[in-house]
Structure 1
């Protein structure tokens, strides 16, 4: 496509043999220049669309380019001609431009760059984030941001096609207890009071359903003051937020099972994605079978409970504990590789992993084999072992044993390509989450996930739990997670739209009706005016694009990410403000840790 503007007639990725002989004007960054002889040199001009070679055949033109630092922006007017030495790897590799005039549009005033732009991904991350505008000039970095734009456009189009209306919700709102720390914004007009940036549009989208809107969505910015990790950026993130009135779990599933697979198949690093219906796995089953509520279904390994088989085998760490086993057929790892794998599992799980093997002669060897020799036949039968099998083991309290087994599954899957069909997007739904749990810090009954979820069994089961007839920990919620390749893309739920049920649910965790009114006044009051049943979900856009791009770090697909310490090194944020600003906001900083 031609790009007729004041500065250029064509882009740097556009010219072909069809334009040979034409006079053209290009504009872009000086990617490179090399002088190969007296009055002869080659420049490479780069813009958003690609690169074009410019051949200088006069001392004057060579001198012009030699006087420019790399990354200067220039305008070149010249004639297109066929190259003597073609480059089949480049779309513009059949042609070159012989310049007649060169105009410097923006001079780079630095002789040394912080890193080579076309190799910026090899640079230190701090340098990349500080000079992100240079990092983004690298086509390999830029393509992830282009992908993000394409994916967001595709998601938006698909949601509109499904009858959803895009509605934006407030950024300045009230602080609410939704699980993570809020970012607070002081109010100038209301001394001592604060707004909060929304952790999610949760309450607003439910209020939209109470307002009579039927299908809502937005590409929603969310803000949480939490630590970074590989699949989570500190500060802000974006999600495909959606809600449906007069709808339940199956309605939500049907929409996402129709919207996501085409997007993943079209834009993903892999061209295969699960088709509807996605596998549905109850939470309890996921923990038992995969050791996690985020299973990677590309790995065909599963967890077997070996407590009855091995807890009393004489190996002390197993005694009185839950024991889990992961059996791997055709395992070819060396002792050194096994030791490293177990060490990596311990680092990730915080719990030791153990092992033994059944060798090609049918003998139990290695690891803790000596403790299971006396029950060899039972072990082989119970675990379905064949010669060449490796058995990874975990032990501890049930939760710890499950978690370690889950880490073992991932580690062994990654190590054994015959058990890992990597090049696909494998989706599943995790359903029937516990409504309540015992808090690790408080030791008291707490909501397990979203307090706005509808308990399975409704008001009746809550009243039975309040009367002591049902264990609250046995109550499940109409809540679900969408998982892809071991990454949780989103949580969703059928919402608790009935004030009576809401109050009863909160009373089990020690909060009365007045507490509910105080914490969620708008939603509670709106529901007293009659709210429709509704359900929703919010897949993370950043995580989606990370999967589609095949990146390990979420920062690679965010235009201007913060570092792991929640700092924007480019803008020097967070930063200090003036005393005048603080006074206007009625704030006094009493102590600042350097």
Structure 2
């Protein structure tokens, strides 16, 4: 028999009764019933119940061990009594009569329970992440991640893509976030950068003629944490294709995403095809460029309805309205709670009215609306009796942010929200440029390597703020999974695009010399995308925080509490790297 096990804990069934077995695992739980010990033994594959009778070596050994100690046991598989069968456990029809125990590793007092999902704080969980990962939910999440990545690799290969690795040590790149820098020992005063994404390298692979590339790529960005963004590092499915237009990329990604979400979504529907929503339309209808389409309500721009209005709260402002049908049975408490929710999002309040049977309006602001306002409003919204109308007024971006959240919350509270479904969409037609509000300068609004719609002719003949780019985002249930683009592969177009954003030719050649040199030797039209692996798994696992899907994440302050990173470096190592430190002064207390 094997030194440690003949079977896994989770594989034994009734057909194994009367079999002698050897198992190894962790002491998950223990119950003493009249001197008889019932032990739950756990390994990677599942749980099995052990029985240790009074007066035996097994009873004495198992009775004194702390939970989470590691043991090897020998025993015989027996049937559980009819009253003790556990139908929720795959091994629930049998148990193991233990004859011998070997202690392989004794556990100290554990800082939190493993066999229950108690409310231990995240800092403690990350400090003892190796224990946290023993918990059923976390173990399941990590196995889901493994299975998803394996399936993605198989499907991408079947679609004709070639998996290739790109460098980890490279040059800095203006991807939009801060680089992590690595000092060079051999080249004093110079630094490598960890890649924010393999953007330039995957484009170079297309120029090299590889046609279809993919990689489960590690990416590094020195940015703050959010619920859907882990600080420091993340993984993405990096994809690039040659001789394609936007729709070609969409077809590949839709097929992949639909299959992955159907396979691992636990029975939740993944809708396909994915609707294409222009950026400006998304901002008007949903208040966001990552709309949650499970919410079956839309916003309407009613600024014109109140143009010249005497109602000071709306006069001269951008006004967005949210029509919520069938709210006749909602009490005042519903409207008060919606107002409180809007305040939590940063609003000063939430204006609203109700539409009566005679199509008159009631509510806090009804008295401020003229008959002309009411007629125009009801016409613009198609409002019927029994509906409620919520309003946001102010600057466009501020109103969009607040009313986007109000839209989803109102849908949830009124039954206009689809549960247990994945609603995807493409956001398309992003503006190529935007104006900095403080400086008035024209800047890239998205990816500077994207091809402008209309090419060089558009760059030379149109107002920069009217130029659209072949850029796109894929969104699922309000979570942006990825940005992508058809790339700019023509040197003259690239020079002009950067000139508009304030870069002269010399600056472009200094920053992107490798790319430009490659473009000048025959570059194919190409495009790609890079959906986030962590976010995909977060959605599939129905987890609210991305760190629940990563084995060893940094905390919200970008610290590794388990390994103690970032850590200090001694003076000898600093001298070897030609570095000296200038620490900030201590904060005043």
TM-score by length of 2: 0.95
Distance 2:142 2:213 in 1: 26
Distance 2:330 2:227 in 1: 27
Which of 551, 568, 572 is residue 580 of structure 1 equivalent to?
572
Distance 1:73 1:303, change over 3 A: same
Q: For structure 2, which runs of at least 5 residues remain unmatched after alignment? A: none
Query: Superposed, which structure 2 residues align to 1:92-241 within 5 Å?
Result: 92-110=91-109, 113-120=110-117, 122-241=119-238
Asked whether 1:298 is paired with 2:290, we answer no
1:270 and 1:425 in contact (8 A); partners too: no
1:356 and 1:366 in contact (8 A); partners too: yes
Structure 1 counterpart of 2:310: 314
How far did 1:399 drift? 2.8
Distance 1:587 1:337 in 2: 60
Structure 1 counterpart of 2:392: 394
Aligned pairs, how many? 581
Root mean square deviation, CA, Å: 1.7
Which of 527, 535, 546 is residue 543 of structure 1 equivalent to?
535
Asked whether 1:486 is paired with 2:482, we answer no
Distance 2:520 2:25 in 1: 61
Distance 2:170 2:72 in 1: 48
Distance 2:65 2:494 in 1: 68
Query: Superposed, which structure 2 residues align to 1:158-557 within 5 Å?
Result: 158-276=155-273, 278-331=274-327, 332-348=329-345, 352-359=349-356, 362-372=359-369, 374-375=371-372, 376-417=374-415, 419-464=416-461, 470-557=462-549
How far did 1:350 drift? 5.4
SS of residue matched to 2:223: coil
SS of residue matched to 2:73: strand
Please list the CA deviations of residues 237-259 of structure 1 after superposition, one character each: whole Å capped at 9, or x if unmatched.
Answer: 11100101111111111111111
Please list the CA deviations of residues 160-213 of structure 1 after superposition, one character each: whole Å capped at 9, or x if unmatched.
Answer: 001100000001111111110111111111111111110000000011111111
Which of 61, 64, 79 is residue 64 of structure 1 equivalent to?
61
TM-score by length of 1: 0.95
Asked whether 1:566 is paired with 2:558, we answer yes
How far did 1:398 drift? 2.5
Which of 29, 48, 55 is residue 52 of structure 1 equivalent to?
48
SS of residue matched to 2:313: helix
Structure 2 counterpart of 1:78: 75
How far did 1:314 drift? 2.9
Distance 1:259 1:335, change over 3 A: same
Distance 1:117 1:333 in 2: 43
SS of residue matched to 1:59: coil
SS of residue matched to 2:115: helix
Distance 1:390 1:188 in 2: 66
How far did 1:6 drift? 3.0
Structure 2 counterpart of 1:467: none
Deviating more after overlay: 259-268 vs 347-356: 347-356
1:311 and 1:323 in contact (8 A); partners too: no
2:240 and 2:527 in contact (8 A); partners too: yes
Distance 1:495 1:121, change over 3 A: farther
Distance 1:441 1:560 in 2: 40
Structure 2 counterpart of 1:590: 582
SS of residue matched to 2:425: strand
Distance 1:121 1:547 in 2: 23
2:29 and 2:115 in contact (8 A); partners too: no
SS of residue matched to 1:574: coil
Distance 2:253 2:2 in 1: 41
Q: For structure 1, which runs of at least 5 residues remain unmatched after alignment? A: 465-469
Distance 2:112 2:406 in 1: 39
Asked whether 1:87 is paired with 2:79, we answer no
1:436 and 1:447 in contact (8 A); partners too: yes
Distance 1:379 1:210 in 2: 54
Distance 1:103 1:567, change over 3 A: same
1:297 and 1:427 in contact (8 A); partners too: yes
SS of residue matched to 1:144: helix
How far did 1:565 drift? 1.0
SS of residue matched to 2:7: coil
Distance 1:345 1:140 in 2: 33
Distance 1:88 1:593 in 2: 62
How far did 1:369 drift? 2.0
SS of residue matched to 2:422: coil
2:474 and 2:480 in contact (8 A); partners too: yes
Deviating more after overlay: 379-388 vs 564-573: 379-388
How far did 1:322 drift? 1.2
How far did 1:315 drift? 2.5
How far did 1:359 drift? 4.4
Distance 1:401 1:101, change over 3 A: same
